[in-house]
Amino acid sequence: MQSQQVIEVENLTKMFGAFKAVDAITFNVKRGEIFGFLGANGAGKTTAMKMLIGISNPTSGKAKVAGFDVFTKAESIKKNIGYMSQKFALYDDLTVKENITFFGGIYGLTRAQIREKTTQMIADLALQEVAGQLVGSLPLGWKQKISFSVALLHSPKVVFLDEPTGGVDPITRRQFWEMIYKTANNGTTVFVTTHYMDEAEYCDRVSIMVDGKIEALDTPKKLKEQFGVKTMNDVFLKLARG
Amino acid sequence: MKRIGYIVQKEFKQIFRNKAMLPIIFVMPLIQLIILSNAATFEVKNIKFSYIDHDHSSNSRALIEKFNVSSYFNIISGFQSQALASSAMLDGEVDVILEIPRHFERDLLGDKYAQLGITINAIDGAAAGVESVYINQIVQSFNKEIRVALMQKTAVSIMPITIETIPLFWYNKTLNYKTFMVPGILVVLVTMITLFLSGMNIVREKEIGTLEQINVTPIRKGQFIVGKLFPFWVIGMALLSVGLVISKLIFDVPIVGSLGLMYFYTSIYILVILGIGLFISNYTETQQQAMFIAWFFMVIFILMSGLFTPIESMPQWAQVLTEFNPIKYFVEVMRMVMLKGSSLEDIYPQLAKTMAYALAMNGLAVWSYKKTN
Amino acid sequence: MNRFRGFIKKEFYHIFRDRRSLFILFGMPIAQILLFGFAITNEINNVDIGVLDHAKDATTEEIINKISTSKYFSIKEFIEREADIEAAFQKGEIKAVLNFEKDFSRNLVKDHRATIQIITDATDPNTANTISNYTSSILRNYQQELNTDINMPFQVIPQFRMVYNPELKSVFMFVPGVMTIILMLVSAMMTSISITREKELGTMEVLLVSPLKPVLVIVGKVVPYIFLSVINAIVIVVLSIFVFKMPIQGSLLLLGVVSVLFIITSLSLGILISTVSATQQTAMMISLMGLMLPTILLSGFIFPISSMPMALQVISNIIPAKWFIVLLKGIMLKGVGMGCLWKETLILLGMALFFILVSIRKYKTRLE
């Protein structure tokens, strides 16, 4: 079925004045896939992602997310995706539970569903101790994990993660990736940007953006073969340095 | 509807959790209402009065005594010379100098005519005008007394024509400024709180980054905005209520008109202010910008509202501008309904304009709020 | 020192890159001084009044004519019955009604005495009182015209001399006030917000761990705003002179010196606010809610301080704006120098020092 493709992008372009931030990118992402979206700072990753999650209007091209057109059905897309932004975006001055309740409510979950999800999440993340604490008082690693779980509250088809592990210790990063795998196994597509090349190795497929264009797209294994190097880090360095 | 509920709940939690803001929102305005309402008076009294008596006669002393007993004037001192008096005025120690010339008594009794020199610090032109009226009144009553005392001797009483004026001060017989100022200052405080909070609110989420998170959710912008603004609407109404209680209990301001009408009007008025706040929030990137703009309009709204200085006295173009000032309408309505008992029909023009304003501002605000850019 | 200069440069870049804020910072004071200079006046002009003439004879007509030709009043409506006055007041159409008694002329001829009621809507006591005074004085003049043939003996005639503002222009009263309000609020608000902003964004910590002394960090943040405020002050003074014809009787140099002093006082108040607030939101609410009305009301800008209750007169002493307004009026209108103004100047200086010292203490304790 065609619906196996959860994200379909064709020649998607975003101009800021005369500057092409995203230059005719084309790719597809399958259901349940972990798709790594790599690129140097300023390569256009975040801009591309913002178009896919419906908060930035594309200049031209085509794109469908969860079967909905980003030009005409941005609001329908939003019901079917989760998003975790680079800036930590839970409310610092609400408790963990209150954040869950709030975002659950916004996504239209019923009270019973919210209660159920909250209990489940607290158990999964071992949050019993801190559930009543203000989010602002928690260490970054915890916040990121909670943030990710909140993005999954409404069981979206795709979840977009914008540099989710920035500034987090290696143990937490590991746990975080375990969460990502689990999510993908449950059939949710994961679209993730990252700077850590070791993380790129964990992805099913990886795309690398340079100056607004996608310069490479394949499984990490094939990419390494293609460039004749041993690590994704070297693949990235070769591409980014031109 | 349910989604709006979640937002309202969240906003209230955030407001009540911010311990630094609570006193600013709920206590500071009320303290200001209590203290500042006493300050706003155009009444001219305690005038810093001084005299130079070159005559040292019983009549000159009698005249000075008349100023002394008047409640308007405080005699600061008597000076020996014009130079000393002038320098005291330059220092700001005195505002009125009465100079009684030599031979004052002799002229008055002999020529039946005498002059007085009066110097007034006229920087506050309006106060200077009032001071000259008071001085005239005192001098005239002095004239009358002299005439009564001396006329029997010289006699021929011709009855002059007198047009008697009887001033009647309706609604406020004692010319109490507080009844006038308390409703007005209350209006300003309610407006400031609601404008600043709403103007800052959304742009704050923009700056922190949580707004982006909201924008990727399926919530409709109308729901989001209503949910965001409703708490401030409640705060505005609550402030009004406490303010009214204070007006009644502390200042004993009469509440002649219908409370229901005041609440009805206020409920619409606050929508105007919230709309303006939201509009500002949409067009700014940082809280700093939002605040400067809110401040700019607030100062203009306050000073051009007729709260402190009368609108009729403004030049025509400025009067036209005040038509766009929501505070003007609120001040008018509060004063009319509270102090005069005006009815719905009386305030109809203000109400209609406020409603139109509320529709326009909120329409603009919702329209300019973009989930996608 | 070089490092410090670099730091100040960075602050200037910050300010000048943000075009929108810059426009606001310079444009708003100009707009405000122009608007308020022209529009704010506590003179009473063109007050709409009504007339209830029970007599409708030649004399009342003459009096009505006299009143309607004065610049203070414009007669908006003729009322037929006492009962209609209330309705007219409630609609807010008119502020006063002149009520002529029946047989006005006849009484005047027969008894040499006739009465007019001046019924005012005293919800606004100032306007009511002024209307009442003005009408009385118009009537007194008219009365004197009628009495010209009678020579009144024993008269003391006061000769008034209005000094510093002979034409009683209210601009002279309000321009110094507006200037004060603008400088005070803009300076205090700008510094308090820009410092708390760095705190909130976390960049303050970066600056504080730099080899610059914390005091210098704050000074560096404030210097550009002194510069901005001085430009604002100059623009306002220029507008006052050329647009509002304000005289500068005293020394322009002295005016400059006290203005800079006041700006520094306001900025240091801004610093103090930033030390007690953790978020921009709090800083703004304190500097806007906390300063706006007290500065407008307790500074003598609109309402004379000497008429306030004793307690408020005492409180008004802690408002920096009050002292600056005295200084401005002294220099611009009275033309006095330091000889008369040393006290106010010292008070402002003391306030600035106080704000700075308290801020330094607060910052220190926070850092330790």
Do the strands A158-162 and A189-193 form a parallel or antiparallel pair, or are they unpaired?
parallel
E strand or H helix that includes residue A205: strand A205-210
Q: What does the pLDDT look like over C226-262, one tens digit per residue?
A: 888 999 999 999 999 999 888 888 899 999 999 999 9
User: Which carries the bigger pLDDT value, residue C159 or residue B151?
Assistant: C159
Residue C207 or residue C120, greater confidence: C120
| CA atoms of B51 and B118, how far apart (whole Å) | 9
Nearest to B292 by CA among C243, C303, C27: C27
pTM above 0.95, yes or no: no
Q: How far apart are CA C307 and CA B134, in angstroms?
A: 15
**pLDDT confidence bin for C366, thresholds 50/70/90:** low
Per-residue confidence (pLDDT) for residue A6, from 0 to 100 = 92
pLDDT at B272: 96
Name the residue among A140, A239, A155, A141 with its Cα closest to residue A197.
A239
**What is the pLDDT at residue A197?**
84
Compute CA distances C132 → B32, C87, C124, C305, whole Å: 31, 20, 12, 24
Query: Which residues of chain B are under the pLDDT cut of 50?
Result: none
Q: What is the pLDDT of residue A1?
A: 41
Interface of B with A in 10-29 (CB under 8 A): 10, 13-14, 17-18
Section C154-176 average pLDDT: 81
- Give the model's confidence band at C152: pLDDT under 50 very low, under 70 low, under 90 confident, else very high: low
- In terms of phi and psi (left: phi > 0; alpha: psi -120 to 50; beta: otherwise), the region of C179 is alpha
Q: Say how far residue A9 (Cα) sits from the centre of its chain.
A: 16
> Does residue A121 or residue C9 have the better pLDDT?
A121
Measured CA distances, A168 to A36, A141, A152 (Å): 18, 6, 20
Query: What is the number of CB-based contacts under 8 A between chain A and chain B?
Result: 81
Put simply, the chain B residues between 162 and 191 with a CB less than 8 A from any chain C CB are 162-173, 175-177, 179-180, 185, 188-189
How confident is the model at residue A225, as a pLDDT? 92
pLDDT tops 90 at residue C25: no
Position with higher pLDDT, A192 vs C147: A192
Task: Work out the pLDDT band at C204, boundaries 50, 70, 90.
Answer: confident
Total residues found in chain C within this entry: 368
Strands A34-39, A205-210: pairing is parallel
Q: Which residue ranges in chain A fall short of pLDDT 70?
A: 1-3, 242
What pLDDT is attached to residue C15?
A: 75
Residue of B nearest to A108 (CA): B3
Mutation site for A-interface testing, chosen from B3, B6, B21, B219 by largest number of A Cβ within 10 Å: B6
In C124-163, the residues whose Cβ lies within 8 Å of chain B are: 124-130, 132-133, 135-137, 139-140, 142-143, 146-147, 150, 152-163
Tens-digit pLDDT profile for residues C75-104: 988 988 888 888 888 888 888 999 998 888
- Per-residue pLDDT at A237: 87
Of B88, B83, B118, give the one whose Cα is nearest residue B101: B118
pLDDT number for residue B151: 66
Place of tokens 């015209």: C145
State the smallest CA–CA distance between residue C211 and chain B in angstroms: 28
pLDDT of residue C351: 96
- C-alpha dist (Å) from residue B221 to A65, A154, A169, B162: 21, 19, 37, 72
Separation of CA B43 from chain center: 13
Angle between helices B125-154 and C125-146 (to 10 degrees): 40
- In terms of CA atoms, which chain C residue is nearest residue B117? C159
The pLDDT of residue B152 is 60
